[in-house]
């Protein structure tokens, strides 16, 4: 039996003005909605669905043929499954699967993933490129490269080189595409540190856009940021025009 969650008065006072507290409690106490992406470098989608059928119910993610929402038949960590250790799937947010699908890189492309760690989109692009072409997976912090390298190895990625440098170091290279996935700190931290949040996210993005315009103007620039902090807006319509998808 699930123990009833008792809310502190300050929490009630704050969030009762923002949302329905009963629905919020249901979400807090329910299972987190997980999603995974099948790694087609190692296994076909139907084969993995069959292997996981005893433990998981999979529901197709509309925008990614290899992506599935996960319902566990009992509580356990997805990372404990043998298929995860074998690199047959990657635990990845559904919204995180959009950028690579929009970019749709091919085996003839040279792609710069300028802030690649921990590797969810890098490994997704490698699969879309059939493990051919070339991806430069960069990050500015050495500690983040550990997770990136582990995931590239686990997923069997062979078309990717890992670099440790500032993004401007690539200004002499000509890439077909640049993917920028902007991180979002916690809502409370952003509210209390407005100037820092703007400096990290907005100004950093403008710097990358200007560097792309100046040094690599023919490249496709894909920008995205997860909506995880602000709620699951999974039903937002995506529209496309000549130069952008939004």
pLDDT in tens, the chain (246 residues): 456 677 788 888 888 888 888 888 877 777 678 999 999 999 999 999 999 999 999 999 999 999 999 998 787 889 999 999 999 999 999 989 999 999 999 999 999 998 899 999 999 999 999 999 999 999 988 888 999 999 999 999 999 999 998 877 887 777 888 877 765 555 556 666 667 766 667 777 777 788 788 888 888 888 776 555 444 555 556 666 666 655
Instruction: State the Cα–Cα distance between residues 91 and 87, nearest whole angstrom.
Output: 10
Give the CA dihedral 139, 187, 36, 66, nearest 10 degrees: -80
Cβ contact 93:228 at 8 Å: yes
């Amino acid at each position: 039996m699930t123990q009833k969650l008792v809310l502190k008065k300050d929490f009630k006072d704050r969030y009762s003005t923002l949302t329905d507290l009963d629905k919020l409690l249901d979400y807090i106490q329910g299972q987190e909605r997980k999603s995974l992406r099948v790694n087609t470098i190692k296994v076909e989608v139907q084969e993995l669905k069959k292997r996981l059928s005893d433990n998981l119910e999979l529901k197709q993610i509309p925008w990614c043929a290899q992506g599935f929402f996960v319902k566990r038949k009992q509580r356990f960590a997805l990372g404990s499954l043998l298929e995860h250790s074998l690199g047959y799937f990657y635990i990845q947010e559904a919204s995180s699967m959009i950028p690579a699908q929009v970019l749709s890189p091919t085996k003839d492309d040279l792609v710069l993933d300028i802030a690649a760690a921990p590797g969810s989109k890098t490994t997704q692009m490698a699969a879309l490129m059939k493990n051919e072409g070339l991806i430069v997976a960069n990050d500015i912090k050495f500690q983040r490269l550990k997770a990136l390298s582990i995931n590239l190895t686990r997923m069997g990625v062979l078309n990717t080189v890992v670099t440790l440098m500032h993004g401007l170091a690539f200004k002499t290279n000509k890439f077909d595409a640049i993917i920028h996935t902007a991180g979002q700190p916690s809502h409370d931290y952003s509210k209390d540190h407005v100037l820092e949040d703007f400096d990290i996210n907005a100004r950093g993005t403008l710097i990358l856009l200007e560097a792309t315009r100046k040094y690599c103007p023919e490249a496709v620039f894909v920008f995205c940021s997860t909506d995880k902090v602000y709620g699951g807006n999974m039903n937002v319509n995506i529209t496309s025009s000549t130069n952008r998808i939004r």
